Structure 1
C-alpha cells in the first residue's frame, strides 16, 4: 500500500496554532486601526467614532514636512536602485554561466543577508567621512543609503521576470537585423516592464518604511515619517500617531498588493 503524503495541515492542533498566530500578528494592527477613529484622547478606552485624529494629522505642518521628505527619499531611492538592479539583472541572466557569478549574486543580495544594524553602522562610518571631507549635509546621503539597501529588493523580481522570459522574440528581432539597443528597447523592455514596476514598488515600500538606516545616516532636521512617529511614541502615544500609522499601513498594503498582482504567474 502506497504511503500517505505528509500534510502539515492534518497534524493535531495545526488549525488552533495557526489561528493563534494570526491573532497575535494581526490583532494589534486591527486595534491600532480601530482606535485611530476614537473620539477620545485615550488609546485604550473607546469614546465614540470620529475622524478628528486624521484631521489633526492633516493640519499638522510637521507631519506634512516629514511625509514629503519621506516620499522624495523613497521615490529617488526606488528609481536609482531599480535602474541599477535592471542593469545587474540583465548582466547576470543574459549571459552563459561564468566564473564568479555566484559571488556577484552574493554581493547584490548582501543587504538581505547581513543584519540591518551592521549595514547601518557601515553606512554611518562611510558617510561620516564623506561629510567631513565635503561639508555637504543634504538629503543625498539618505537617498544613496536607501538606494544601496533597496537594490536587492528591486533586483529579485526583475531577475525572476527575465528568467521566465522566452528568448524567441529577441532572437527573431536579431534575425531581422535589429541592433541590440533596438531589440532591448522594443522587445525586451516592454516584456520586462511588469517586473521593473514591481521591483520599483517593492524598493519604494522598503525605503518608505525604513527606520534603522535612516536613524544612523540622517543629519539634524532630516526626520522621515517613520523616525518622526518613533520620536512621538517615545513621548506619548496619541490617536494622531494611530491615524498616521493607519494611512502608512494602507499605502503599504496597496503597493504590495499591486506588486503581487504584477508578479504572479498567469496561466
Structure 2
C-alpha cells in the first residue's frame, strides 16, 4: 500500500455519522411535568382503592394485611357511617339540582345580556368562588344564628346551594358566550316564541354545560367539610364522620364507600364523554 493511500483524508461521505445528542425540549419537559402531576393526584386514590381490599383483622384499616373482598359485602355494617353517607348523598342531590337550576339562569343572563348590576354580580359570583371556606362557613353561621334558624339539614343544604351556584353559573356563562345567536334568530324567524326558542334550541345546546355544573355542585357538596362543620349542628355527614373517626382509625368501609363514589363519578364522566362525541359526529 502506497504512502499516498495512507495519507489520503477520509471524505465526508465515508466518515461515520455522528450520533445526534438528545436534548430535552420544552415539549419534553411539559410531558414529564404533566405525568408527574397526574401521578401525584392518582396516588392517594390508588391507596384508597387498595385499602378497600385490605384483609385487616381489626376494626381499623391502618396496615396492609392481605387481599379480601369481604368489606364490599359488609359496606353497610356500621350504622352511623351508613346514616352519614345517606345524609351526604341526600343533601348533595338536593343542593346540586337547585344550584343547577339557579346557576343556569344566572349564567345565561350574564353570558347573553348586559344589564345594570351585571358587573357587580360578576364580582360577587367570583368572590364566592375565591373566598376561603373558613370565612364562608363563619359568615353563614352568623347569618343563621342571627336569623334564629336551627342548625341542621336545612342550613347545610342552604349553605351548599350558596357556594355551588357560582360554579354552575361560571360554567354555563362560558358556554353561552360562545353560543351562535343566529340559531335562535332562525328559530324566531320560523315563529318560535322566546320561551320556545330557549327550550327547543338554546337549552339543548348548553345542556352539557348545565350537566357539568350539576356534577361539580354534587362533588363539592358531598366532599365539603369546612362549611358543613359550621352549619351542621348535630347532623353528621360523611366527611364529618370520617373526621371524627380519624382520631382512632378509619374502618375499611370508608375506603369501600370512597372507592364506589369515585367509580360512579368516573363512569358518569366516561358515559358523558362518549355521548358528547357521538353528538358531535351526528
TM norm structure 2: 0.79
What are the superposed Cα offsets for residues 151-206 of structure 1, whole Å, 9 maximum, x if unpaired?
12211221222122211221122223322212222222222222212211111111
The equivalent position to 1:238 in structure 2, one of 251, 267, 273, is 251
Q: Relative to 1, partners in 2 of residues 1:89 and 1:22: Cα closer, same or farther, differing over 3 Å?
A: closer
Cα distance between partner residues in 1 of 2:119 and 2:243: 39
Q: Relative to 1, partners in 2 of residues 1:213 and 1:44: Cα closer, same or farther, differing over 3 Å?
A: closer
1:191 maps to 2:208: no
1:75 maps to 2:93: yes
Q: Does the 8 Å contact 2:62/2:249 carry over to 1?
A: no
The equivalent position to 1:250 in structure 2, one of 263, 267, 273, is 263
The equivalent position to 1:34 in structure 2, one of 26, 35, 50, is 50
Q: Relative to 1, partners in 2 of residues 1:122 and 1:259: Cα closer, same or farther, differing over 3 Å?
A: farther
Q: Relative to 1, partners in 2 of residues 1:144 and 1:260: Cα closer, same or farther, differing over 3 Å?
A: farther
3-state DSSP of counterpart to 2:76: helix
Q: Does the 8 Å contact 1:202/1:256 carry over to 2?
A: no
Cα distance between partner residues in 1 of 2:209 and 2:44: 33
The equivalent position to 2:135 in structure 1, one of 118, 128, 134, is 118
**What is the alpha-carbon root mean square deviation over aligned residues?**
2.8
Shift of 1:262: 7.3
Shift of 1:255: 4.3
1:65 matched to which residue of 2?
83
Q: Relative to 1, partners in 2 of residues 1:92 and 1:235: Cα closer, same or farther, differing over 3 Å?
A: same
Cα distance between partner residues in 1 of 2:217 and 2:66: 38
2:187 matched to which residue of 1?
173
1:158 matched to which residue of 2?
172
TM norm structure 1: 0.83
- Please, which runs of 5 or more residues in structure 1 have no aligned partner? 1-5
Q: Does the 8 Å contact 1:194/1:262 carry over to 2?
A: no
1:8-19 to 2 correspondences below 5 Å: 8-11=26-29, 15=32
The equivalent position to 1:226 in structure 2, one of 227, 239, 247, is 239
Q: Relative to 1, partners in 2 of residues 1:259 and 1:172: Cα closer, same or farther, differing over 3 Å?
A: same
Q: Does the 8 Å contact 2:144/2:155 carry over to 1?
A: yes
Q: Does the 8 Å contact 1:195/1:262 carry over to 2?
A: no
Bigger Rg over Cα: 2
3-state DSSP of counterpart to 2:246: helix
Q: Does the 8 Å contact 1:198/1:263 carry over to 2?
A: no
What are the superposed Cα offsets for residues 99-122 of structure 1, whole Å, 9 maximum, x if unpaired?
543322121222211111111111
Q: Does the 8 Å contact 1:233/1:241 carry over to 2?
A: no
Cα distance between partner residues in 2 of 1:231 and 1:34: 22
- Number of aligned pairs? 255
Cα distance between partner residues in 2 of 1:26 and 1:47: 22
